[in-house]
Protein backbone atom coordinates (compact mmCIF):
# COMPACT_ATOMS: atom_id res chain seq x y z
CA UNK A 1 0.00 0.00 0.00
CA UNK A 2 1.40 3.38 -0.93
CA UNK A 3 0.87 6.40 1.23
CA UNK A 4 -1.21 8.30 -1.29
CA UNK A 5 -4.29 6.49 -2.57
CA UNK A 6 -6.95 7.46 -5.04
CA UNK A 7 -10.56 7.89 -3.97
CA UNK A 8 -11.32 4.55 -5.61
CA UNK A 9 -8.88 2.88 -3.20
CA UNK A 10 -10.33 4.46 -0.09
CA UNK A 11 -11.93 2.40 2.65
CA UNK A 12 -15.65 1.64 2.62
CA UNK A 13 -15.97 3.27 6.04
CA UNK A 14 -14.68 6.66 7.12
CA UNK A 15 -14.37 6.16 10.88
CA UNK A 16 -14.50 3.44 13.51
CA UNK A 17 -16.10 3.72 16.95
CA UNK A 18 -14.57 2.24 20.09
CA UNK A 19 -15.99 2.45 23.59
CA UNK A 20 -15.47 1.45 27.19
CA UNK A 21 -17.48 2.61 30.19
CA UNK A 22 -17.94 6.38 30.07
CA UNK A 23 -15.68 6.87 27.04
CA UNK A 24 -16.62 6.76 23.36
CA UNK A 25 -14.13 7.56 20.58
CA UNK A 26 -14.34 7.78 16.80
CA UNK A 27 -11.12 7.06 14.93
CA UNK A 28 -10.91 8.53 11.44
CA UNK A 29 -9.45 6.63 8.50
CA UNK A 30 -8.76 9.95 6.79
CA UNK A 31 -5.66 11.21 8.57
CA UNK A 32 -5.44 8.24 10.93
CA UNK A 33 -6.31 10.24 14.03
CA UNK A 34 -9.09 10.88 16.53
CA UNK A 35 -12.28 12.34 15.09
CA UNK A 36 -14.13 12.58 18.39
CA UNK A 37 -13.88 11.60 22.04
CA UNK A 38 -16.65 11.93 24.62
CA UNK A 39 -16.94 11.27 28.34
CA UNK A 40 -20.46 10.60 29.60
CA UNK A 41 -21.64 12.10 26.33
CA UNK A 42 -19.68 15.34 26.74
CA UNK A 43 -16.95 16.22 24.21
CA UNK A 44 -13.26 16.12 25.09
CA UNK A 45 -12.27 17.04 21.53
CA UNK A 46 -13.67 19.35 18.88
CA UNK A 47 -15.21 17.20 16.16
CA UNK A 48 -16.45 17.61 12.60
CA UNK A 49 -18.88 16.13 10.10
CA UNK A 50 -16.88 15.21 6.99
CA UNK A 51 -13.16 15.74 6.36
CA UNK A 52 -11.27 17.34 9.24
CA UNK A 53 -11.21 21.14 9.14
CA UNK A 54 -7.93 22.82 10.03
CA UNK A 55 -6.21 19.41 10.27
CA UNK A 56 -8.39 18.45 13.26
CA UNK A 57 -7.24 15.19 14.81
CA UNK A 58 -4.88 14.04 12.05
CA UNK A 59 -1.49 12.35 12.40
CA UNK A 60 1.48 14.53 11.39
CA UNK A 61 4.35 12.48 9.96
CA UNK A 62 7.13 12.06 8.87
CA UNK A 63 7.41 15.63 10.11
CA UNK A 64 4.95 17.82 12.02
CA UNK A 65 4.54 21.53 11.48
CA UNK A 66 6.70 23.32 8.87
CA UNK A 67 9.85 22.79 6.83
CA UNK A 68 11.32 26.03 5.49
CA UNK A 69 11.13 26.26 1.68
CA UNK A 70 10.51 22.49 1.77
CA UNK A 71 14.27 22.00 1.75
CA UNK A 72 16.54 19.97 4.01
CA UNK A 73 19.83 18.09 3.95
CA UNK A 74 20.36 14.59 5.32
CA UNK A 75 23.62 12.64 5.34
CA UNK A 76 25.08 15.11 2.86
CA UNK A 77 22.20 14.84 0.37
CA UNK A 78 19.88 17.76 -0.41
CA UNK A 79 16.10 17.17 -0.68
CA UNK A 80 13.23 19.33 -1.94
CA UNK A 81 9.77 18.58 -0.56
CA UNK A 82 6.61 19.77 -2.27
CA UNK A 83 5.40 23.15 -1.05
CA UNK A 84 2.06 22.61 0.71
CA UNK A 85 1.78 26.00 2.43
CA UNK A 86 2.40 28.24 -0.59
CA UNK A 87 1.52 31.50 1.17
CA UNK A 88 4.58 30.97 3.41
CA UNK A 89 6.59 28.75 1.03
CA UNK A 90 6.74 25.88 3.52
CA UNK A 91 6.11 22.15 3.43
CA UNK A 92 3.63 21.57 6.24
CA UNK A 93 2.39 18.68 8.39
CA UNK A 94 3.96 15.72 6.60
CA UNK A 95 2.48 13.17 4.23
CA UNK A 96 0.03 11.08 6.26
CA UNK A 97 -3.14 13.12 5.73
CA UNK A 98 -4.82 10.61 3.45
CA UNK A 99 -6.73 7.35 3.74
CA UNK A 100 -5.34 4.89 6.28
CA UNK A 101 -6.02 1.15 6.30
CA UNK A 102 -8.07 -0.53 9.02
CA UNK A 103 -6.28 -3.74 10.02
CA UNK A 104 -7.82 -4.74 13.37
CA UNK A 105 -10.95 -3.77 15.27
CA UNK A 106 -12.40 -4.65 18.67
CA UNK A 107 -15.07 -3.02 20.83
CA UNK A 108 -12.49 -1.01 22.76
CA UNK A 109 -9.47 -0.96 20.43
CA UNK A 110 -8.62 -0.34 16.78
CA UNK A 111 -5.42 -0.48 14.72
CA UNK A 112 -4.75 1.43 11.49
CA UNK A 113 -1.72 1.42 9.21
CA UNK A 114 -0.32 3.83 6.66
CA UNK A 115 2.70 3.54 4.38
CA UNK A 116 4.61 6.70 3.60
CA UNK A 117 6.36 5.91 0.35
CA UNK A 118 8.69 8.04 -1.75
CA UNK A 119 6.42 10.93 -2.63
CA UNK A 120 6.47 14.68 -3.21
CA UNK A 121 10.21 14.93 -2.60
CA UNK A 122 10.33 12.54 0.36
CA UNK A 123 12.64 9.68 -0.70
CA UNK A 124 12.09 7.01 1.99
CA UNK A 125 9.49 4.46 3.07
CA UNK A 126 8.07 4.51 6.59
CA UNK A 127 5.27 2.30 7.90
CA UNK A 128 3.01 3.81 10.56
CA UNK A 129 0.96 1.61 12.88
CA UNK A 130 -1.55 3.51 15.04
CA UNK A 131 -3.43 1.74 17.82
CA UNK A 132 -6.16 3.51 19.77
CA UNK A 133 -7.73 1.95 22.86
CA UNK A 134 -10.19 3.10 25.52
CA UNK A 135 -10.43 1.88 29.10
CA UNK A 136 -11.59 3.24 32.45
CA UNK A 137 -8.82 5.86 32.36
CA UNK A 138 -9.56 7.29 28.90
CA UNK A 139 -8.14 7.03 25.38
CA UNK A 140 -4.65 5.70 24.72
CA UNK A 141 -2.88 6.53 21.43
CA UNK A 142 0.08 4.36 20.49
CA UNK A 143 1.83 5.18 17.18
CA UNK A 144 4.78 3.14 15.94
CA UNK A 145 7.05 4.17 13.06
CA UNK A 146 8.98 1.42 11.26
CA UNK A 147 11.34 1.43 8.29
CA UNK A 148 13.20 -1.29 6.43
CA UNK A 149 16.02 1.04 5.39
CA UNK A 150 19.40 -0.16 6.62
CA UNK A 151 20.68 3.41 6.82
CA UNK A 152 19.27 5.93 9.29
CA UNK A 153 16.50 8.21 8.04
CA UNK A 154 14.94 11.30 9.71
CA UNK A 155 11.52 11.17 11.32
CA UNK A 156 9.28 13.20 13.62
CA UNK A 157 5.68 12.77 14.77
CA UNK A 158 2.76 14.92 15.83
CA UNK A 159 -1.00 14.81 16.38
CA UNK A 160 -3.22 17.82 15.60
CA UNK A 161 -5.77 17.78 18.44
CA UNK A 162 -8.37 20.44 19.16
CA UNK A 163 -9.35 20.08 22.81
CA UNK A 164 -12.81 20.64 24.26
CA UNK A 165 -13.46 21.23 27.96
CA UNK A 166 -16.55 19.02 27.87
CA UNK A 167 -18.32 21.49 25.61
CA UNK A 168 -17.59 24.71 27.51
CA UNK A 169 -17.11 27.82 25.34
CA UNK A 170 -13.46 28.51 24.62
CA UNK A 171 -13.54 31.98 26.19
CA UNK A 172 -14.54 30.40 29.53
CA UNK A 173 -11.61 27.97 29.58
CA UNK A 174 -8.11 28.02 31.06
CA UNK A 175 -5.02 26.03 30.10
CA UNK A 176 -2.40 24.54 32.39
CA UNK A 177 0.63 23.11 30.58
CA UNK A 178 4.00 22.38 32.21
CA UNK A 179 6.23 23.85 29.51
CA UNK A 180 9.19 26.06 30.41
CA UNK A 181 10.32 27.48 27.05
CA UNK A 182 8.57 29.61 24.43
CA UNK A 183 10.35 29.28 21.07
CA UNK A 184 9.46 32.39 19.12
CA UNK A 185 8.31 32.08 15.51
CA UNK A 186 8.69 34.58 12.69
CA UNK A 187 6.29 35.72 9.97
CA UNK A 188 6.52 32.34 8.23
CA UNK A 189 5.81 30.49 11.51
CA UNK A 190 9.38 29.22 11.60
CA UNK A 191 11.64 29.40 14.67
CA UNK A 192 13.68 32.58 14.92
CA UNK A 193 16.14 31.07 17.40
CA UNK A 194 14.93 33.29 20.23
CA UNK A 195 13.79 31.39 23.32
CA UNK A 196 12.00 32.93 26.30
CA UNK A 197 10.95 31.43 29.63
CA UNK A 198 7.34 30.24 29.62
CA UNK A 199 4.83 29.45 32.32
CA UNK A 200 1.29 28.44 31.37
CA UNK A 201 -0.65 28.26 34.63
CA UNK A 202 -4.40 28.96 34.62
CA UNK A 203 -3.93 30.82 31.33
CA UNK A 204 -7.30 32.28 30.21
CA UNK A 205 -8.10 31.48 26.60
CA UNK A 206 -9.96 34.75 26.12
CA UNK A 207 -6.65 36.61 26.55
CA UNK A 208 -4.44 34.73 24.10
CA UNK A 209 -4.06 34.53 20.34
CA UNK A 210 -1.64 31.69 19.67
CA UNK A 211 0.16 30.05 16.83
CA UNK A 212 3.18 29.43 19.04
CA UNK A 213 5.71 26.72 19.85
CA UNK A 214 6.55 25.60 23.38
CA UNK A 215 8.96 23.07 24.88
CA UNK A 216 9.13 21.29 28.21
CA UNK A 217 11.57 18.94 29.91
CA UNK A 218 10.01 15.70 31.03
CA UNK A 219 6.51 14.35 30.38
CA UNK A 220 4.09 17.13 29.45
CA UNK A 221 0.51 17.30 30.70
CA UNK A 222 -2.08 19.76 29.38
CA UNK A 223 -5.23 20.41 31.43
CA UNK A 224 -7.89 22.37 29.55
CA UNK A 225 -10.78 23.19 31.85
CA UNK A 226 -13.71 25.44 32.64
CA UNK A 227 -14.76 25.69 36.27
CA UNK A 228 -12.65 22.66 37.13
CA UNK A 229 -14.03 20.31 34.49
CA UNK A 230 -12.50 19.49 31.12
CA UNK A 231 -9.88 17.31 29.43
CA UNK A 232 -6.31 16.20 30.11
CA UNK A 233 -3.73 15.39 27.43
CA UNK A 234 -0.68 13.52 28.73
CA UNK A 235 2.37 12.99 26.51
CA UNK A 236 5.21 10.53 26.93
CA UNK A 237 8.84 11.53 27.34
CA UNK A 238 9.50 11.37 23.59
CA UNK A 239 6.95 14.11 22.88
CA UNK A 240 8.27 17.29 24.50
CA UNK A 241 7.18 19.94 21.97
CA UNK A 242 3.74 21.52 21.63
CA UNK A 243 2.29 23.92 19.09
CA UNK A 244 -0.61 25.92 20.54
CA UNK A 245 -3.01 27.37 17.99
CA UNK A 246 -6.21 29.37 18.58
CA UNK A 247 -8.11 29.93 15.32
CA UNK A 248 -11.02 32.32 15.61
CA UNK A 249 -13.21 30.55 13.05
CA UNK A 250 -13.18 26.82 13.83
CA UNK A 251 -16.31 25.40 12.13
CA UNK A 252 -18.73 23.54 14.42
CA UNK A 253 -21.82 21.59 13.38
CA UNK A 254 -23.77 22.12 16.61
CA UNK A 255 -22.26 24.98 18.60
CA UNK A 256 -21.50 28.27 16.83
CA UNK A 257 -18.25 28.49 14.90
CA UNK A 258 -15.60 30.47 16.70
CA UNK A 259 -12.40 30.31 18.71
CA UNK A 260 -10.88 26.90 19.43
CA UNK A 261 -7.69 25.57 20.99
CA UNK A 262 -5.36 23.19 19.17
CA UNK A 263 -2.79 21.49 21.39
CA UNK A 264 -0.46 19.76 18.94
CA UNK A 265 1.96 17.36 20.67
CA UNK A 266 5.14 16.95 18.60
CA UNK A 267 8.32 14.92 18.97
CA UNK A 268 10.33 17.72 17.32
CA UNK A 269 9.89 21.47 16.78
CA UNK A 270 8.94 23.31 13.59
CA UNK A 271 11.64 23.14 10.91
CA UNK A 272 13.23 20.07 12.52
CA UNK A 273 14.17 18.57 9.15
CA UNK A 274 16.34 21.67 8.63
CA UNK A 275 17.65 22.15 12.19
CA UNK A 276 17.93 18.49 13.17
CA UNK A 277 16.57 19.28 16.65
CA UNK A 278 15.07 16.18 18.29
CA UNK A 279 14.74 14.27 15.01
CA UNK A 280 14.38 10.52 15.44
CA UNK A 281 16.87 8.43 13.48
CA UNK A 282 14.84 5.51 12.17
CA UNK A 283 16.48 2.41 10.73
CA UNK A 284 15.72 -1.24 10.17
CA UNK A 285 15.15 -3.04 13.46
CA UNK A 286 14.85 0.20 15.46
CA UNK A 287 11.18 1.28 15.46
CA UNK A 288 10.08 4.35 17.37
CA UNK A 289 6.92 4.51 19.49
CA UNK A 290 4.97 7.61 20.56
CA UNK A 291 2.31 7.45 23.29
CA UNK A 292 -0.41 9.93 24.25
CA UNK A 293 -3.33 9.70 26.69
CA UNK A 294 -6.58 11.67 26.80
CA UNK A 295 -8.90 11.66 29.80
CA UNK A 296 -11.66 13.66 31.45
CA UNK A 297 -10.95 16.12 34.23
CA UNK A 298 -13.72 16.22 36.83
CA UNK A 299 -14.23 18.47 39.83
pLDDT tens for residues 164-210?
A: 999 999 999 999 999 999 999 999 999 999 999 999 999 999 999 99
Rounded CA separation 76/119 (Å):
20
Rounded CA separation 97/13 (Å):
16
CA angle centred on 216, ends 141 and 90, rounded to 5°:
75
pLDDT class of 220 with cuts at 50, 70, 90: very high
Angstrom CA distances, 90 to 84, 144, 179, 233, 264, stand at 6, 26, 26, 28, 18
Q: Which fold has domain 7-297?
A: Beta-galactosidase; Chain A, domain 5 (2.70.98)
Give residue 12's pLDDT. Answer: 56
Rounded CA separation 143/59 (Å):
9
Give residue 256's pLDDT. Answer: 72
> Considering only CA atoms, which of 295, 138, 159 is closest in space to residue 225?
295
Angstrom CA distances, 287 to 128, 191, 253, stand at 10, 28, 39
Mean pLDDT over residues 16-38, rounded? Answer: 98
Rounded CA separation 35/189 (Å):
26
Tell me the pLDDT tens digit for each residue of 238-259: 999 999 999 999 998 777 779 9
Rounded CA separation 105/132 (Å):
10
pLDDT over threshold 50, residue 1: no
Task: Read off the DSSP letter of residue 272.
Answer: H
Where are the domains positioned within the chain?
7-297
Percent of the chain's residues with pLDDT above 70: 96
Angstrom CA distances, 193 to 72, 109, 238, 269, 275, stand at 17, 41, 22, 11, 10
Give residue 5's pLDDT. Answer: 36
pLDDT over threshold 50, residue 6: no
Rounded CA separation 55/35 (Å):
10
> Considering only CA atoms, which of 179, 294, 178, 171 is closest in space to residue 231?
294
Tell me the pLDDT tens digit for each residue of 223-241: 999 999 999 999 999 999 9
Most confidently modeled of 48-57, 160-169, 254-263?
Answer: 160-169
Rounded CA separation 282/196 (Å):
31
Question: Could you tell me the pTM of the whole model?
Answer: 0.94
Mean pLDDT over residues 149-154, rounded? Answer: 98
Give residue 148's pLDDT. Answer: 97
pLDDT class of 3 with cuts at 50, 70, 90: very low
Mean pLDDT over residues 65-92, rounded? Answer: 98
Considering the chain, what is the average pLDDT of its residues?
95
Amino acid sequence: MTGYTSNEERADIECVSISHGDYLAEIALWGGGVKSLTFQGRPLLETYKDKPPMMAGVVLAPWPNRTEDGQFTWQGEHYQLGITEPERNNAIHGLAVDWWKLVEQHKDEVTLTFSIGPHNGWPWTVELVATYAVDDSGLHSHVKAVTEHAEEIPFAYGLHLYLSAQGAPTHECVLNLNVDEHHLLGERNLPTGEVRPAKLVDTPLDRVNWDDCFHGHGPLVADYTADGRGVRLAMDSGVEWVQLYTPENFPRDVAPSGKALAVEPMSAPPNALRSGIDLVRLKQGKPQVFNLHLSAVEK
